[in-house]
Structure 1
Amino acid sequence: MEQHLPRYDVPLEQSGSYKQILEREDVPKDHGRDLKRPKAVRWGTLGVVLLLVIGAVVATVVVLLGKNSSASSSTVQGVVASSPVVVASSSAISTTTTAPITTTTRATTTTTRRVPTPSTSPAVLPATGKFWFGIAVDNSTDVSVQQWTAGGTGVRPLLAHIYFYLQPYNFTTPVQLADYMISFFGGMSDNSVLMFTVQAVNGISEAEAPDSQIQALADAWRELNIRGYKILVRVGHEMNGGWYPWGRIPTLFQEFWIRFTTIVRATAPITSMVWSPTISDSYPYDQRKIPAAGSPDMAFLDTNQNGELDGGDDPYSGYWPGDEWVDWVGGSIYYYGPSFPYNDNFVPDGHWLERTLTGRVTLTGEQRGPSFYDVYCVQKKKPFIYAETAVYHWPNGTGVDEVAQKQAFWRLALNRTTIAQFPMVRALAWFEVAKIEEAWANQFLDFTIGNNPDVLQAFLGDVKAPGNTAANIDTSIFVWG
């Protein structure tokens, strides 16, 4: 949702601590698809080519020597036969997934540590039949984790989601930046799934979001991978709205996404990329940053070709960078009420979530746009996360009380029927935030579960074994920290 940028991640001065790590050529790009690979990968590829050439030369020698001595031929062929093994080893090293691996920091220290190798694709995924229920916070996880676990509840979120700037940082090593990152995940277990929404607040062009800044984050995530943390990276979120610097510029967004993903995948092996627009039936949400008529961006977004950005256009396809560049899909999904203005407290009906995920008008069920779930989860086979989701309680509004409102929402998302209907939905990050919302006339809105003890107890009663019959939630699917 449109929100204040995080309070904790204060911009630091331009220190130049991280130099340009990826060298790039000034060549035309097709929405970022012609990106140069990191230098180490290019040298690894060159080494493979040289080995193949050497092998070919040796093979030629074998043929020539074979005319004079079969014994010599056997000896040389033994060397040739071993060359594919060497080539395979070089390729494995270039993918940064073998172990052990040598890491050189920006200082003078060199250490050798074992890097975990992903066993599944994507690298970060719950076990079969399991579901991650976590929290999204705008500051730190400390308070929420303390609230959820007080008294030994046994319900510690395994997944936690914070917001982080793409900018220069005053750290000289990836270890230091990783330490800074982990400081915002207070109370989380050592095997947690850490999710970062990366906000390119200065823009997403190469000049505004240089490779060196992306590489700095990727190096820190690699360090966190080494420590045992799984990482989800959600970059350029809610790109189909007009409220962020990266919004409604699909051509540049695709290039930025591919550039970012290329660097992360070459660096941090237990890290997955989450592509996450806003999902609702009110597209295009507002009229900010509408691309100029006839522009390449407008051509991407005006899918019904009527010259306007309206509810008949596809909200998502213009921003899709290609199946091979996305590990997870997700969305910002909030319940506000049946109609604007949302100044009372409502309970979502049983069809609301299904209709939201499948592109229908939530009030009538009329098909309004493409089914996000069918296109991106079923057809493209991508796991889905509610990247930030909740229902807010309006303290001054009328209607249902806070417990009834929030309990109805999580029961709708987690009950057996919904889980069976949408099996590609594998995780949820509850927006555990209470804040002044500018878009709602500066009203205080509370999305949290933990702030109200009655809400928290209702939640624990629904998600802890043996559960609550009325909730119809299979408590065995949850993995807690």
Structure 2
Amino acid sequence: MGWQERRRNCGILFWSKALLSLSISIGVLAYYIVRIAQLYTYARDHPSVGSGEYETVDCPFDPAKASSPGELASFGHRLEPAQGDFLWGFHLDWEIDSPSALVKRLGAAPPVWNAFISMNTTDFEVDVINWMANQIRDVKGIFELTILPTVPLDTLPRTLLWELAQECRHINSFYGVPVYLRFAHEMNGNWLVYGQKPTAFRQAFIDLANYVHTSTNLTAMVWSPNTGLGYPYGQVTAGAADLALLDTNRDGVVAAADDPYLPYWPGAAAVDWVGVSAYNLLAGANSHQALAPLTGDLAQHFYGNDVVTNGIPIHDIYNRFAAAEARPFMLSETGAPWYRNGTTEPFENTEFEVKQGWWRAVFGNTLAGGSNAFPNFKMATWFEETKVESAFYDANVFTIRDYYITQTKEIARAFIKDAQDLGKNAFKWAGRVKFECDGSLRN
């Protein structure tokens, strides 16, 4: 090898090292640029308490004067609208959507916004809650905060439940956002780790309610089981004490004739609102496509009537727990899915007909909509995303179910028109719902 070739090889080696060093330097610089941007975004979206960036609500709280169920007869219960008024809102897919984006699509601002937040034995995503509360504040909304425990409820430290109550108080005062606290929803179902374990549920709910009721007036406790239609949704696996509670007719098995609600009822003192999850589950010829519902179809969820439980009073959640206990009632999550796949028969209804039929069923069962059947029915929150779920006709077939109302202009405009037809004073909009420090809502 001559000296010229050695010189060339040395040059190649030198410039290779130089380029490698430059690439590493650029990579490190890019990393720090991205990291600084992330930290800036986090700091912007998660302001510290007392930063002065946001207005606080001057609602000094005196535990001795705390409002509690049964003590607010002059205006109802915590965060209850006046008789004839109706609140409404949406649950978002917060990973891809936001309140401000939905308001822009809909052309109107709903007063209520739901989010699901996980809770384990050490944490309940407080930073995420604050980030959401900030966005809800920007659209002058109310936070329906659904806390979804990922562990058995008897393993949750009571100190953590206390911290949750203090976080609600913080949201109320720092952001000026009232909260509907929906803790461990659908507790009568078997698809959640805490489901069908009434002993642990009732105690956890009561403890949390005590913490909330002695910390703030602007958070309402929402007791929200799943609709009793189909209960107990399959085989029940529970300990002896819970099985004794669940077998309400004492026939040795937990079946459709048993009470889907009472074993989980924590008592009126712990409950500000009664809620239920109810969806349009009417299906077509193959049980895989939605049908447009009628007003009476929604009422079946309130009464608990189906081919098995028709006429059994214990399946009537509205009259037993909302009317009898004088509590406001909400559809804490609701909607009408449109199946995007898995269909083999011609559609009997269009997507528009299915979704409009369901919201008209909701509106039609309200005082504003002309019905006197459910005077305590005062709120509904629509599911606003898509879900992949097993088909009714085959558990091995997965269908994409589209619950969206605001993503299609024709559907969104029709929703708003039907809402406006109820009357602008009855169907409440964000910014037109005022709250007082005692937990009351005013026009």
Superposition TM-score, scaled by structure 1 size? 0.67
Show the counterpart of 2:398.
442
Q: Report the alpha carbon displacement of residue 435 of structure 1 after superposing the two structures with TM.
A: 2.3
Show the counterpart of 1:55.
none
Show the counterpart of 1:201.
150
Write the mapping of 1:24-103 to structure 2, written as runs, cut at 5 A. 93-95=62-64, 97=66
Q: Does 1:420 align with 2:368?
A: no
Q: Report the alpha carbon displacement of residue 347 of structure 1 after superposing the two structures with TM.
A: 1.1
Comparing 182-191 with 160-169, greater Cα deviation is found at 182-191
In structure 2, how many angstroms separate the alpha carbons of the residues matched to 1:409 and 1:363? 23
Q: Does 1:130 align with 2:85?
A: yes
Q: Does 1:477 align with 2:429?
A: no
Per the alignment, in what secondary structure is the counterpart of residue 183 of structure 1? helix
Per the alignment, in what secondary structure is the counterpart of residue 150 of structure 2? coil
Q: Which amino acid aligns with 2:266?
A: P
2:283 touches 2:289 (CA, 8 Å); kept in 1?
A: no
1:195 touches 1:234 (CA, 8 Å); kept in 2?
A: yes
Write the mapping of 1:453-468 to structure 2, written as runs, cut at 5 A. 453-464=409-420, 467=421
Query: Residues 160 and 210 from structure 1, CA distance in 2 versus in 1: closer, same or farther, beyond 3 angstroms?
Result: same
In structure 2, how many angstroms separate the alpha carbons of the residues matched to 1:419 and 1:156? 25
Query: Residues 190 and 219 from structure 1, CA distance in 2 versus in 1: closer, same or farther, beyond 3 angstroms?
Result: farther
Per the alignment, in what secondary structure is the counterpart of residue 251 of structure 1? helix
Q: Does 1:212 align with 2:159?
A: yes
In structure 1, how many angstroms separate the alpha carbons of the residues matched to 2:428 and 2:138? 12
Per the alignment, in what secondary structure is the counterpart of residue 214 of structure 1? helix
1:144 touches 1:450 (CA, 8 Å); kept in 2?
A: no
Superposed CA offset, 1:28-69 (max 9, x none): xxxxxxxxxxxxxxxxxxxxxxxxxxxxxxxxxxxxxxxxxx
Q: Which amino acid aligns with 2:304?
A: G
In structure 1, how many angstroms separate the alpha carbons of the residues matched to 2:242 and 2:295? 37
1:434 touches 1:444 (CA, 8 Å); kept in 2?
A: yes
Q: Among 335, 343, 346, which residue is 1:390 paired with? A: 335
In structure 2, how many angstroms separate the alpha carbons of the residues matched to 1:166 and 1:216? 12
Q: Among 127, 146, 149, which residue is 2:101 paired with? A: 146
Show the counterpart of 1:165.
118
1:419 touches 1:425 (CA, 8 Å); kept in 2?
A: no
2:113 touches 2:136 (CA, 8 Å); kept in 1?
A: no
Q: Report the alpha carbon displacement of residue 409 of structure 1 after superposing the two structures with TM.
A: 0.5
Superposed CA offset, 1:323-379 (max 9, x none): 111110100001121589631121113321122211222799544743111111111
Show the counterpart of 1:430.
382
Q: Report the alpha carbon displacement of residue 419 of structure 1 after superposing the two structures with TM.
A: 4.2
Q: Matched residue pairs, number? A: 352
Per the alignment, in what secondary structure is the counterpart of residue 437 of structure 1? strand
Q: Report the alpha carbon displacement of residue 120 of structure 1 after superposing the two structures with TM.
A: 4.9
Q: Which amino acid aligns with 1:450?
A: T
Q: Among 152, 156, 162, which residue is 2:109 paired with? A: 156
Q: Report the alpha carbon displacement of residue 127 of structure 1 after superposing the two structures with TM.
A: 3.0
In structure 1, how many angstroms separate the alpha carbons of the residues matched to 2:103 and 2:63? 42
In structure 2, how many angstroms separate the alpha carbons of the residues matched to 1:426 and 1:354? 14
Q: Report the alpha carbon displacement of residue 125 of structure 1 after superposing the two structures with TM.
A: 1.5
Q: Does 1:333 align with 2:304?
A: no
Q: Among 297, 313, 325, which residue is 1:352 paired with? A: 297
In structure 2, how many angstroms separate the alpha carbons of the residues matched to 1:335 and 1:236? 22
Q: Which amino acid aligns with 1:380?
A: E
Per the alignment, in what secondary structure is the counterpart of residue 459 of structure 1? helix
Q: Does 1:184 align with 2:132?
A: yes
Query: Residues 119 and 193 from structure 1, CA distance in 2 versus in 1: closer, same or farther, beyond 3 angstroms?
Result: farther
1:393 touches 1:402 (CA, 8 Å); kept in 2?
A: yes
Superposed CA offset, 1:382-429 (max 9, x none): 111100000100123322111111001000110255643211011100
In structure 1, how many angstroms separate the alpha carbons of the residues matched to 2:96 and 2:130? 10
In structure 1, how many angstroms separate the alpha carbons of the residues matched to 2:162 and 2:170? 12
Superposed CA offset, 1:154-199 (max 9, x none): x21110010112243499xxxxx4x641422536546421011111
Write the mapping of 1:104-115 to structure 2, written as runs, cut at 5 A. none
2:151 touches 2:194 (CA, 8 Å); kept in 1?
A: no
Superposed CA offset, 1:197-216 (max 9, x none): 111112211xx211222222
Amino-acid identity (%): 26
Query: Residues 453 and 297 from structure 1, CA distance in 2 versus in 1: closer, same or farther, beyond 3 angstroms?
Result: same
Q: CA RMSD in A?
A: 2.9
Show the counterpart of 1:259.
207
Q: Report the alpha carbon displacement of residue 132 of structure 1 after superposing the two structures with TM.
A: 0.6
Show the counterpart of 1:228.
176
In structure 2, how many angstroms separate the alpha carbons of the residues matched to 1:187 and 1:252? 32
Q: Return 5+ residue gaps in structure 1 as ranges.
A: 1-91, 99-116, 172-176, 468-472
In structure 2, how many angstroms separate the alpha carbons of the residues matched to 1:195 and 1:170? 15
Q: Which amino acid aligns with 1:407?
A: Q
In structure 1, how many angstroms separate the alpha carbons of the residues matched to 2:140 and 2:65? 21
Query: Residues 251 and 95 from structure 1, CA distance in 2 versus in 1: closer, same or farther, beyond 3 angstroms?
Result: same
2:295 touches 2:360 (CA, 8 Å); kept in 1?
A: no
Q: Which amino acid aligns with 1:431?
A: F
Per the alignment, in what secondary structure is the counterpart of residue 88 of structure 2? strand
Q: Which amino acid aligns with 1:160?
A: W
Superposition TM-score, scaled by structure 2 size? 0.72
Query: Residues 341 and 382 from structure 1, CA distance in 2 versus in 1: closer, same or farther, beyond 3 angstroms?
Result: farther
In structure 2, how many angstroms separate the alpha carbons of the residues matched to 1:237 and 1:328? 13
